[in-house]
Amino acid sequence: DCPLDALEAADGPVDIKLWYTGIVEPPVTVLANAVKGFNESQNKVEVTADNQGNAYIEGLRKYQSASRTPDQLPQIIYLEDTMLGEMVDKGQVLPAEACMLADNYDPNQITAAARAAYTVDGVLYPGYMNVSTPILYYNKVHFEKAGLDPNKPPTTMAEIEEAAKKIKEWDSSKKPFSFKADQWFFSTWLSGVGQEMVNNENGRAAPATEATFDTPESLELLKQLKSMNSEGLLNPFPVTDGSIDHYLALVTEVSSMVVETSTASSTIAAALGGELTAEDADIDLGSVTLDGKKIVPASGQYPGLKAPGQIYASGGAFFMLNTGTKAEQAAAWQFLKYMLQPKVAKDWTLTGGYLPVVKEIISDPEIAKFRETELDGQLLGPAIDQLATADPDRSGPLIGPYRAFQEILQGALENVLFSNGSPNDSLAKAQREATELLTDYNG
């Protein structure tokens, strides 16, 4: 239950701490403005947002440490979507849906794909989500020079390979497809064709007990990536916190295409427009500059195994914790309800580069203008479209020990791409290890 009435009975303003990680510029300004706007809009609650680090994993570690002594925890915590399973398993989250229903807020005002991704046992847990999805970024100039249509980006992995071959024919020094070997992309590709990473309906019908990603589809995908790598069509990079080498491959024109998060749209646009320094974005561009005559960035929906835009909602989410007083729980909901207001939610898209999760703003005239006239809006457009049509029944895996699960799958990808490992053996080994992990977690 959500103790809404407790706020009315509280003496004086209720102080709320919000911990966040993984939010840098420009989105961190959106959060600061939301906190300021909320605090100025009423006098019953005072929110303070505290940055716990630049990487999501830092926030998870801080939460795991503090969760043993609940009085050290904040009232709201912002964590990556992959931490949903562990958060629910610990039993320390106040489900936002309980507060929504108690306060006559219809959860259906939130887009179906976003709701589905963050719902466990029919209950929506976070009060607000910063949703992002992978999309394709590419350089129109290279497409033009290679004889490709610069306004028709590849829509499948097969078309990515075809485009890469054309670009390689135009300039043999290129490694056309820059690829960060992130398991997120791998999981998204498989989810898009209905392949589950774990059993029990991807962990959503019951806790996952077995890994199930060693399939003909995943094997074919790994073989394709390995083949492209051996032919010089792929430019692979290991996953390293804070590294943007896979982006720089496009900036230095070694590569022509990259798949990455949709939130990069605001960073790319701000850097091009001179509005954002490398320091602001927590990246090191060194002496590299973007040359508009050689680089014209564009984007397309995520190229799937069979069709474009087959994604699920990812990103970060604001969770209310049930470890504080009832007045604090009620106060936390008031802030998240404020974030759900269209005027606030809109800012997360217009300035922060996150996708619309409140249905009302998708057709907002300001969003339409942003998509038409601003570079970051143009880059973000395909991601907005693919989220709006995403299948809520394919909302990605729900796994308690998700971080460790990711590392195992990551290891398989890296073994194939950087150590010339066998796709068959790498997948089989990873699946065995992931199943052992789930067995240990479930006790």
- pLDDT confidence of residue 385: 97
Q: Who's near 15: CB < 8 A, 6+ residues apart?
A: 46, 48
- pLDDT confidence of residue 355: 98
For residue 26, say if its preceding peptide bond is cis, omega within 30 degrees of 0. Answer: yes
CA distance 340 to 301: 26
- Residue 108 DSSP label: G
Q: Which of 272, 290, 267, 268 is nearest to 25 (CA)?
A: 267
Cα dihedral value 271, 272, 275, 280, nearest 10:
0
Q: Which of 11, 77, 122 is nearest to 336 (CA)?
A: 77
Residue 101 phi/psi, 5-degree rounding, is: -70, -35
- pLDDT confidence of residue 366: 98
**Phi and psi based region of residue 26 (left: phi greater than 0; alpha: psi -120 to 50; beta: remaining):** alpha
- pLDDT confidence of residue 271: 58
Question: Where do the structural domains in the chain lie, given as residue ranges?
Answer: 6-132+312-362, 136-311+399-442
Helix (H) or strand (E) holding 17, with range, is strand 14-20
Residue 297 phi/psi, 5-degree rounding, is: -70, 140
Strands 314-321 and 76-80: antiparallel
- pLDDT confidence of residue 41: 98
Instruction: Return per-residue pLDDT of the chain as tens, 443 residues.
Output: 999 999 999 998 999 999 999 998 889 999 999 999 999 999 999 999 999 998 888 998 999 999 999 999 999 999 999 999 999 999 999 999 999 999 999 999 999 999 999 999 999 999 999 999 999 999 999 999 999 999 999 999 999 999 999 999 999 999 999 999 999 999 999 999 999 999 999 999 999 999 999 999 999 999 999 999 999 999 999 998 778 889 888 888 999 999 999 998 877 766 555 454 445 444 444 444 455 567 888 999 999 999 999 999 999 999 999 999 999 999 999 999 999 999 999 999 999 999 999 999 999 999 999 999 999 999 999 999 999 999 999 999 999 999 999 999 999 999 999 999 999 999 999 999 999 999 999 99
Q: Maximum Cα–Cα distance for the chain, whole Å?
A: 72
- pLDDT confidence of residue 54: 85
Q: Who's near 316: CB < 8 A, 6+ residues apart?
A: 22, 23, 56, 78, 79, 80, 81, 129, 130
User: Sheet holding 234-237: strands in order across?
Assistant: 234-237, 177-180, 257-261, 134-139, 297-300
Domain 6-132+312-362 identical in fold to domain 136-311+399-442: yes
Count Cβ neighbours within 10 Å for each residue of 303-318 and write b for 16 or more, e otherwise: bbbeebbbbbbbbbbb
- pLDDT confidence of residue 153: 98
Residues 136-311+399-442: name the CATH superfamily.
Answer: Periplasmic binding protein-like II (3.40.190.10)
- pLDDT confidence of residue 281: 45
Q: Is 291 exposed, middle or buried (0-12, 13-18, 19+ CB in 10 A)?
A: exposed
Q: Who's near 368: CB < 8 A, 6+ residues apart?
A: none
Strands 76-80 and 14-20: parallel
Cα dihedral value 177, 182, 186, 192, nearest 10:
-90
- pLDDT confidence of residue 160: 99
CA distance 122 to 115: 10
Which option is the CATH number for 6-132+312-362: 3.20.20.480, 3.40.640.10, 3.50.50.60, 3.40.190.10?
3.40.190.10
With beta carbons less than 8 A apart as the criterion, state whether 79 and 87 touch: yes
Q: Is the pTM of this model over 0.85?
A: yes
With beta carbons less than 8 A apart as the criterion, state whether 21 and 51 touch: yes
